[in-house]
Amino acid sequence: LGEFRTRRRQGSPHYTIYLGFGQDLSAGRPKEKNLVLVKLEPWLCRVHLEGVQREGVSSLDSGSLSLTNSLYDDIEHFLMELEQSA
């Protein structure tokens, strides 16, 4: 979490603990397919991560983000065509 806060780690840390009873979790199938699965999420870790995210730290990679105004342009073009046909 410290590395995430100082932006030396790309994604947010994984702190969820899964416990499987009666079956092997590493059997190669999705863990949700187990008969008895307990998911533990330490409250302190979650609260601390939310605090770090409120400080502005994000797990999003800005290199993969692309924002465009294409929807706005499409709506404007549609409205102009609508006015011309009226």
Instruction: Decide if 15 contacts 46 (C-beta within 8 A).
Output: yes
Q: Which of 2, 20, 12 is nearest to 60 (CA)?
A: 12
Residue 27: per-residue pLDDT: 66
Residue 43 resides in a domain: yes
Q: How many domains does the chain have?
A: 1
The answer to whether residue 67 sits within a structural domain is: no
Any domain includes 76: no
For the chain, the average pLDDT equals: 74
Q: Output the pLDDT for position 72.
A: 67
Q: What are the pLDDT digits (tens) for 42-59?
A: 888 888 878 877 877 766
In a domain, 11, yes or no: yes
Establish if 38 belongs to a structural domain. yes
18, 25, 28, 34, 47 from 21: Cα distances, Å = 10, 9, 16, 8, 28
Question: Does residue 71 belong to any structural domain of this protein?
Answer: no
For residue 16, pLDDT over 70 is answered with yes
Q: State which residues form the domain around 49.
A: 1-59
68: in domain: no
Q: Is 73 a member of any domain?
A: no
Residue scoring higher pLDDT (45 or 65): 45
Q: Is the pLDDT of residue 40 over 60?
A: yes
pTM of the model: 0.46
Distance CA 63, CA 54 (A): 21
pLDDT at 61 over 70: no
CA 11 to chain centre: 9
